[in-house]
Amino acid sequence: MVIGTCTIELHLPGSGSLKGKRRVIKSIIARVHNEFNVSIAEVDNQDFWQSATLGVACVSNDSGYVHRVLTKVVEWIERHRPDVQVVDYQIEIF
């Protein structure tokens, strides 16, 4: 069994409140989960208006597949959410 995790740091320049941030993050989480069938949650920076850290997990028996899926998640966020900037991301395979 191969487990892959991806930590994605986001900057939300248009967010002026925690309520606005939550709206954007919940939308991203729902869309990514439905599109890629991965587990995803906000894991850090919950109290900051303009930054968020998402954790994504994928399980498979093929490490190449896991890496491709997690890379596609990051690319999807960059391409489909112009209101959010991907500051950094890190993929780990176990």
Q: Which residues pair with 53 in a beta bridge?
A: 9, 44
Q: What is the reported pLDDT for 73?
A: 98
- pLDDT of 40: 98
Question: What is the predicted pLDDT for the residue at 7?
Answer: 98
Query: What's the average pLDDT block by block, 10 residues per block, for the chain (94 residues)?
Result: 97 90 96 97 92 97 97 98 96 97
What was the pLDDT predicted at 43? 97
Question: Residue 53: its pLDDT value, please?
Answer: 97
Give the Cα separation of 89 and 67 in Å (integer): 13
Alpha helices, DSSP H, located in 1-94: 18-36, 63-80
Where are the chain's structural domains?
A: 2-93
The CATH class of the 2-93 domain is alpha beta
Amino acid at 61: N
Q: What is the pLDDT of residue 15?
A: 85
